[in-house]
A and B are shown apart, each in its own frame.
Chain A
Amino acid sequence: MGYAILGLLKKELLALLKDKKSRFVLIGPPIIQLLVFGYAATFDLNRVPIAIYNEDAGEASRELIARFAGARAFREAGRITRQAEIAQFINPKKALLVLHIGQEFSRDLSNHRPASIQLIIDGRNSNTALVALNYAQTIVADFNRSRAEEQRLPRPAACLEIRAWFNPNLASRWFIVPGIIGLLTLVVTMLVTALSVAREREQGTFDQLLVTPFTPLEILIGKALPGILIGLVESSFIILMAVYWFRVPFVGEIGALYLGIVLFLTATVGIGLMISSLATTQQQGLLGAFLFIVPSIILSGFATPIANMPEAVQTLTLLNPLRYFLVIVRGVMLEGLPMSLLVDQYWPMAVIGLTALALAGWLFRRRLY
């Protein structure tokens, strides 16, 4: 039996890799996408345009503006002299925010009265707006603190010091790049599996396969293994790039990560084959692939935290293998979580994988029309 399966495996791999275009699609784009997305996908603001509207002539306002212009998050996009110009910068997105310092600013400060400044932010992307606001608040708080020190003002009754664990600089790249490992691995296994049975169904060769002496289990293994193998190779490559190119730390054990990868691949390959055996045409297979890929990525916690989702949707994410895998990749790479703390992530993927594979094998014979 083992030898026969090897033949089947060889045929499946040939079907995938024989076509030059198909070979390129499997290898080229995931690598390019990791590079592009790794740099693109970040919530950190970097040189965001800020316009300055300063009506104050004093020293203090210049110092505050210098702090804004010098921050890595911001870049000065221009100076404004009239209220009406604010919209001319914000509306066409020439500036994400406008810092408005009124005429009384320096006088208020030197008279020990609260001096107020105004920040106008483009809220079309409300997350970017909140992050920018946060950076600005930090700059103002730093300004206040150093001014209090210079003037030897009494210290407040309590002072707050915040430290971030696991990611002291709050670089979201460390969070996002491990996430991209999961995304691309998912996409690659779908590329390999979602259309494979559908193609044979459409061309009629699947019927031929079913009448050979192979048992459905053997056919299932023959169809599943190439996906797992290609997924393993690609995900290993992507992890190497994440660590050596993007310099994401890897503090955990490799074994804990690879157990996760194998279980994740089993689950996604199982679902891909299930979609493929449900479909009678490749068009349907493609639709099925998208109906699986898109929700799994959006509801995985890749970009938006699962904790922010409503209860019902959170329950739905329990069916999503990517959700567990992301916890494993991030946990192992950034926090060094050991296998024992990841058991709750491993077993759901195993259950999903085995159920999906069993269903796919069952559908092989049932869906003959």
Chain B
Amino acid sequence: MRHKTFFWFILPSLAAMILFIALPLVSVVVQSLHIEHEQVIVTTENCGPFGCTEESSVDTEATAQLRAEQPLGRFAGLSTYFDRGHLATAEVAEAWRTQDSFGGFLSELYNLPFYKALAFTLTYTFLVTPLVIVLGLLIALGVNRLKPVLKGPTIFVSLLPMIITPLIGSLILFWMIDAQGVIGKTLQWLFDDPELSLKASPTLTWITLMIYGVWSSAPFAFVVFYAGLQTVNTDSLEAAMIDGATRWQQIRYVVIPHLMPLVVFISLIQLMDNFRVFEPIVGFSAQANATSLSYIIFADMRSDITRFNSAAATSVLTVIGVAILLAPVLLRTWRDFKGKAA
């Protein structure tokens, strides 16, 4: 295909991506370097019988006008990145100096909003992803041995948790785990503790959110693995069996190696998707016990006074996180590509 033809074919799609994905990233960087204008202070001198006093007051009108004229605010450099709401370098250094144990340091760190969100986001990403892969594989192996008549309906039901709107899916589960909901009641009965509430303790909230994550993403891994199982070479399975391989050995040495490229694919997609975990926290109203990077950006934009610079700084840090997460994959693809070209 000629360069010119290629250009005209790709132009609309490329324009959309540049305007609404690349430029917003630039906009986020610019916003994060600015901070809202300070209030305009006017100093007036009041002279009375006992001499003169200087009085300063806020000129609300001028402040409002200045802020309306320059909504971006004034240039602040990297200061937003290092303030208490983000990297909090001063607080971290302070905690490092005052706390004698590493545990104490960590718990101090956890009180800072950015690190709290980062802790949950990373834990969620790196626990949910492997669990999704394992559960998806088990379901795929199970469904694969079902009678053909049952396969269709089983796949239909299995797809539901995945295609459901994330906010709606988490709401449905949230109502069920309520202390008066069906799962909440059952758990109270099982543990014989009428006060048990999954919403009260941070640990239980984290576990709930992760169970939701596995529930909603396992179907994706299942479908991909199931399709992969259809292409397993039966000859090699039979050969393995004739050589005396047990059922487990067949799976371990024939099926799993065959599915390995799919594991890489699912991990890649899941890491990307789990890193932006957001809707479940809204759906489960879990913000008191668990916040994610995406959630704190949302909260900054949703507060009474929109904190553009704070949201933008967190966004930039999140994008850097995504870049670190993707780096191994990109490096590998680049090497493969160079290998192919050479």
A joins B in a complex? no
Interface residues, chain A, CB within 8 Å of chain B? none
Measured CB to CB, the residues of B under 8 A from A are none
